Structure 1
Amino acid sequence: MVEDEPDVLLLLENRVRGAGHDVQSASDGERGLELALSESPDLIILDWMMPKLDGIEVLERLRADEVGGRIKVLMLTARSQQNDVDRAFAAGANDYIVKPFSSRELVERIAILLEAAA
């Protein structure tokens, strides 16, 4: 997961681990992209507004990469305007959740994305 807010990152890590998933995290887009390309996770939870590279830049670079192009991406962001949602899906997002979010919904959406990837 790639999230620059420490409190949100901790909440995400705990909730996703609690659902039985392995978690690796980065607090900026640049490190998140490096981690994604080197580790090739099944799923990335990606914030939009972050330092170094924003989530859309990370997503576009992932989709341009042979390995990164296969990784499922769930955008988790405070950006709630329809044009933001449309932009994320156009860049290659597989799902989009607006903050604040329900932890239960997040875990359910993760399960759906991982099931589709299997």
Structure 2
Amino acid sequence: MARVLVVDDDPAIRSLLTDLLEMDGYEVSVAVDGLAALRAVETVNPHFVVLDVMMPGLDGFGVLAAIRALPGDPVPVLMLTAAAETDANAKAWANGVDYYLAKPFTPDAVLDLVETVLAERVVD
């Protein structure tokens, strides 16, 4: 079963994405901030990460940098942000994000992306 890590400080978004992904058969772990995300990446070893940009403490860019510094095949990362700034979008791409969606997003857009990416990857 594919493991997805959802990282967002908004409980409503975490709940929505968790319910959506679990109903589609994914094993979902959640983290409420950047530091918890780093711990979860180490312990869960996710196949896909859905990552908020603006969080207290360590933001999504810091988490993304830490994920990209890990050895082995890079885990696909989808960044979600309410930031309408073009700088955030450019910074995400420059830092190695795989996918980027602005909030508000449609749940189907996230699910379709996760399904497409994980269907192309070998999941242990």
Conserved in 2, the CA contact under 8 Å of 1:29 and 1:53? yes
TM-score by length of 2: 0.87
Q: Greater CA deviation, 2-11 or 81-90?
A: 81-90
Q: For 1:107, which of 106, 111, 114 is the aligned residue?
A: 111
State the Cα distance separating 1:40 from its structure 2 match: 1.2
Q: 1:80–1:117: structure 2 CA closer, same or farther, 3 Å change rule? A: farther
TM-score, length basis structure 1: 0.91
Q: Name the structure 2 match of 1:12.
A: 17
Is 1:2–1:45's contact at 8 Å kept on the other side of the alignment? yes
Residue 47 (structure 1) aligns with: 52
**3-state SS of the aligned residue for 2:56?**
coil
Amino acid in structure 1 at the alignment position of 2:113: R
Q: CA RMSD in A?
A: 1.4
Within 2, Cα distance between the matches of 1:101 and 1:4? 16
Distance 1:74 1:21 in 2: 16
- 1 or 2, which has the higher strand percentage? 2
For 1:48-83, what per-residue CA distance to the aligned partner results, in whole angstroms no more than 9, with x for missing partners?
11122100000001111115x621101011123332
Structure 1 stretches of at least 4 aligned residues deviating more than 3 Å after TM superposition: none
Identity %: 32
The answer as to whether partners of 1:37 and 1:62 remain within 8 angstroms in 2 is: no
* Distance across 2 between alignment mates of 1:51 and 1:35: 17
Unaligned ranges ≥5, structure 2? 1-5
Structure 1 unaligned residues grouped into runs of 5+: none
Partners in 2 of 1:56 and 1:100 — Cα distance?
19
Corresponding position of 1:71: 75
CA offsets 1:10-41 (integer angstroms, 9 cap, x no match): 11111111121110001010011111122211
Cα distance in 2 for residues equivalent to 1:70 and 1:96: 16
* Structure with the bigger percentage of helix: 1
SS of 2:29 mapped into structure 1:
coil
Q: Across the two proteins, how many residue pairs are aligned to each other?
A: 117
| Structure 2 residue 66 is the aligned partner of structure 1 residue 61 | yes
Post-superposition offset of 1:115: 2.5
